[in-house]
Structure 1
């Protein structure tokens, strides 16, 4: 199978060497070139033709965000993984990069006492993401010679009409996302009505600080107020809550009011926050009024919780494979027959809006202008 060709862009010679050495230890990956800043990287891209780019954020002459914008203009499908630091600036810039179209991010290793430990940290952080983002043609090349292709499973047929009069009235919108999620969330939320008639609850796999920056970014650009959830916070109609990094988010009803609750129970699906935790609690609180959306991401977080939502009479819809950065999470609910509908990212907001109109004859959706929606994701 052809190796994954990677280009490493970082102004630090030491970082370039550590990353190159760490990746060289994997037989499926080859570092095809390095660059000290974005200007050099853009000049070398046509000759090196990498499959992936690992891109630092802070660099002289041309920084990572400027470089990313240019890469997206010239190479819209080239996977880019940002190399970020666990700082306030690093978190803010990384979230901005993800909403500009970066596919994923990794943290620069810190606290390693030896070179070998630093190499291990780097390899474990980067390699799984690179392999998850590898073009499908590489997987196909490895399997085509040994077995015939397996037909894709038939997609489940919707219950009569997803947005029809037989659907239950939606009482809460819950969303789960991982790899590629920040950009997908920006696209989705910018297409939803600003006068959302239900609460919005989001789990995006991210560490602390990054989730707060994500909430700030979504609020600024998407027309719906979104904040990082805190324990005991009231869940309100028309407002969004994002699970904070390293905390599960669940909801509970007390004396007629729904509140958010955070905990540090063990990770589920190797994640904390986990989508399954939110989905399970939403099923218990809102029952058939739960509308769940599973966006792009690695793994299958959201599958078990999605089943509980369906068992409670609620609905689950999923992003399609073509518009997903990684079709792990949405693919899992689709293949298991849990998703009632599968749509391209750009069509999900319309479908959600149609479902929100059921049982609300007097509600008139108010959307952002086309220019504002474009600005939210550019």
Structure 2
């Protein structure tokens, strides 16, 4: 498994109503197992369990789930056929695709994201592996809770206020825990630290000016919601990355990352592939960390090369963003440009501090445009980011910076 998270997104308000979930899988053992796992969590209520997409579509309006865990391959109506029909019946429905780690299913899962699915969970290939996989169970439950909580909150403050008032308490937003303040003494930055930057929800975060050094690399970290966000960013950045390589860590399992690299290449109209151990970085190329490995960079005479390591998960993730960002800072210093996009957990928060301490620049996605504001929220809370931007503005901003303009 590529990663397993333990916490819901930073900055999310607690919801007293349980998250209503429907499970759709043709395998009775798997369906029963997922239903039991989800039902054991006090914040989740399973409201439907079906063996094919047709039955699930017919039950959407009656059961009214917040989240559907949807298998891909099923008789009578498969997941890809059911997906648009479900979304047509309930526009704010969160659909999480569940598929085994085959290339075909990876392709289908990524296509489902473009058609409206919120995310996916890769299932182990055999029933026995599913039964014993702690990581799969944790990832399933955490994604249901993170995405379901956001969906409920996005329906408006009125519902959240009603839910919390009925529980006998006043709604209070949960604030990310800020990092310890640091002093910026780097000559590579223009001026003093800016006092604050506004993020979604009215919260204020400390920001810093961009490095005066023109970037020689672009490093991006992302997780839940990342494939869609990366696609949008790379479409914009492709025309501006002539002189820099792009390195990406997206929390994904093997097979998925190879296909993601292909999609990034098509979006940017640039060469893109999984990084290979010992490979030298080339400007204008995109390198995606392969699932199940950490990708780091190593400076040597004549350039910078990729190293793949098989160490333990970092922040419960493998690949993880922090090791990549740490190595980027060492190899490129003030010429580093790092970006944190949507994702659960806090992976990348330590890495952006390393990038910043080395004189580099950091951009993070704002809360309103993030599928889950865990990773970008944690990065924003460090106080070392240069900008906290909506997704639509990140690609254009990166393009300007790569061309030497930080305004």
1:262 to 308, 318, 321: 308
After TM superposition, the structure 1 = structure 2 runs for residues 1-378 of structure 1, keeping only pairs within 5 Å, are: 1-72=16-87, 75-109=90-124, 117=131, 123-136=137-150, 137=152, 141-142=163-164, 145-146=168-169, 149-150=172-173, 153-159=203-209, 162=210, 167-194=212-239, 196-197=241-242, 198-358=244-404
* Deviation per residue, 1:100-120 (Å, 9 max, x gap): 4422222335556599x4597
Asked if 1 retains the 8 angstrom alpha-carbon contact of 2:240 and 2:399, the reply is: no
CA shift for structure 1 position 35: 3.2
What's the TM-score, normalizing by structure 2?
Answer: 0.79
CA distance in 1 between partners of 2:299 and 2:134 (Å): 45
Question: Between Structure 1 and Structure 2, how many residues are aligned?
Answer: 354
CA distance in 2 between partners of 1:204 and 1:119 (Å): 21
CA shift for structure 1 position 272: 1.4
Larger relative contact order, structure 1 or 2 (CA cutoff 8 Å, min sep 6)? 2
* Deviation per residue, 1:327-375 (Å, 9 max, x gap): 0000001112122111111111111111111179xxxxxxxxxxxxxxx
What's the TM-score, normalizing by structure 1?
Answer: 0.85
What secondary structure is seen at the aligned counterpart in 1 of 2:316? coil
CA distance in 1 between partners of 2:353 and 2:77 (Å): 47
Range 259-268 or range 123-132, more displaced: 123-132
Give the gaps of 5 or more residues in structure 1: 361-378
Asked if 1 retains the 8 angstrom alpha-carbon contact of 2:234 and 2:267, the reply is: no
- The residue aligned with 1:367 is none
CA shift for structure 1 position 95: 2.5
RMSD: 2.7
* Deviation per residue, 1:241-266 (Å, 9 max, x gap): 00011111111221121111111122
CA distance in 2 between partners of 1:75 and 1:352 (Å): 35
Give the gaps of 5 or more residues in structure 2: 1-15, 154-159, 176-201
CA shift for structure 1 position 220: 3.1
CA distance in 1 between partners of 2:317 and 2:133 (Å): 23
* Deviation per residue, 1:77-122 (Å, 9 max, x gap): 322111111222222222322344422222335556599x459776
CA distance in 2 between partners of 1:210 and 1:327 (Å): 22
CA distance in 1 between partners of 2:112 and 2:245 (Å): 27
Asked if 2 retains the 8 angstrom alpha-carbon contact of 1:317 and 1:341, the reply is: yes
